[in-house]
Amino acid sequence: MGLVVKYTCGCCNYSTSLMVGCGLRTLKENWMPALNIHTKEVVSVNTNNPSHEEKDFILYSDLTLNKKPFFRLTPADISWGSDRLPTKYNYCPKCCRYEMSCKEDGLFD
């Protein structure tokens, strides 16, 4: 089962829910949250699908989108396979501050 992750900015109240991972019906897909640098939105991208241009997206597992890029990851972070998503101090595309947090909000199949 995959996760539904909710991102919320504590500064501007930007909020979105995204799929992370894969479900039983979508085993060939692996969804991860990413910043679309053109639309300035947090979106889910299928990392197993090479059709999306990597230069157009930055995955939120990339620590450049976190306030402290060299901090130590803790068990409180959300993990999926080898990817880990910091739960606090993420970059918000609407207000351009590192005040966005995320939490597990459900499951999908």
Q: What is the pLDDT of residue 80?
A: 73
Give the whole-angstrom CA distance, residue 68 versus residue 99.
Answer: 12
- Torsion angle, CA of 15/58/52/26, rounded to 10 degrees? -60
How far apart are the two ends of the chain, measured CA to CA in Å? 5
Q: What is the pLDDT of residue 73?
A: 58
Report CA 55 to chain centroid distance, whole Å: 16
Q: What is the pLDDT of residue 83?
A: 80
Q: What is the pLDDT of residue 40?
A: 94
Model-level pTM? Answer: 0.84
Q: What is the pLDDT of residue 52?
A: 63
In this prediction, the residues of the chain whose per-residue pLDDT falls under 50 are none
Domain extents for the chain? Answer: 2-108
